[in-house]
């Protein structure tokens, strides 16, 4: 069993923002595999189903980004999973828009949601799929940028990146992180 958690902020106010790209990828996975995202527990909206031969829980933590670890810790403990069975999908300002980076582990960088998860899980050894959103334009505050919506010219690039992220996650589940890295990073 795997938990695939997309990071974001709950509510209509944040729908479609750069920081909610993880939610969007989880929604695409749910749609592609017929998984209903209707349960609310562990401070997350989630659904259970299968991707290939793997049982999965698709989750969108509802704690707001900075407390994402609370939701994932609750799910990890309830389902008695190892950190390597948790795949986290999130935005990354240090990657150019549309770039995908899959890794088996790593630091949180500047991402507060990942800082929360690493702190509460007490490890950084879990797979992650980072989706580049680029850096804020000159004069923008970081918080304003990540909570902004994509510009018209970015939308198609980001849709393609999210589709590649879905394929990357499917590859992690079927062939492992190393294969997914070699096929989908970039």
**φ, ψ (nearest 5 deg) of residue 134:** 80, 170
- Whether 19 sits among the annotated catalytic residues: the reply is yes
Are 73 and 118 within 8 A, CB to CB? no
Candidates 15, 19, 33, 42; catalytic one: 19
Please state the three-class secondary structure of the chain as a single string.
Answer: CEEEEECCCCCHHHCCEHHHHHHHHHHHHHHHHCCCCCEEECCEEEEEEEECCEEEEEEEECCCHHHHHHHHHHHHHHHCCCHHHEEEEEEECCCCCCCEEEECCCCCCCCHHHHHHHHHHCCCCCCEEEEECCCCCCCCCHHHHHCCECCHHHHHHHHHHHHHHHHHHHHHHHHCHHHHHHHHCC
By annotation, the residues acting in catalysis are 19
């Amino acid at each position: 069993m795997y938990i695939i958690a997309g990071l974001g902020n709950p509510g209509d106010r944040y729908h479609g923002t750069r920081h909610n790209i993880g939610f969007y990828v989880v929604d695409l996975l749910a749609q592609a595999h017929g998984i209903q995202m209707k349960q609310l527990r562990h401070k997350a909206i989630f659904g259970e189903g299968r991707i290939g031969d793997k049982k999965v829980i698709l989750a969108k933590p509802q704690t707001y980004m900075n407390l994402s670890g609370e939701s994932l810790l609750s799910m990890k403990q309830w389902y008695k999973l190892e950190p390597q069975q948790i795949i986290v999908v999130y935005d990354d300002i240090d990657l150019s828009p549309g770039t995908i980076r899959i890794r088996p582990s790593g630091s949180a960088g500047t991402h507060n949601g990942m800082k929360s998860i690493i702190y509460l899980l007490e490890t950084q050894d879990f797979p992650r799929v980072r989706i580049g959103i680029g850096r804020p334009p000159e004069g923008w505050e970081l918080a304003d940028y990540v909570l902004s919506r994509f510009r018209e010219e970015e939308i198609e690039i980001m849709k393609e990146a999210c589709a590649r992220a879905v394929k990357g996650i499917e590859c992690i589940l079927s062939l492992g992180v190393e294969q997914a890295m070699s096929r989908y990073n970039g």
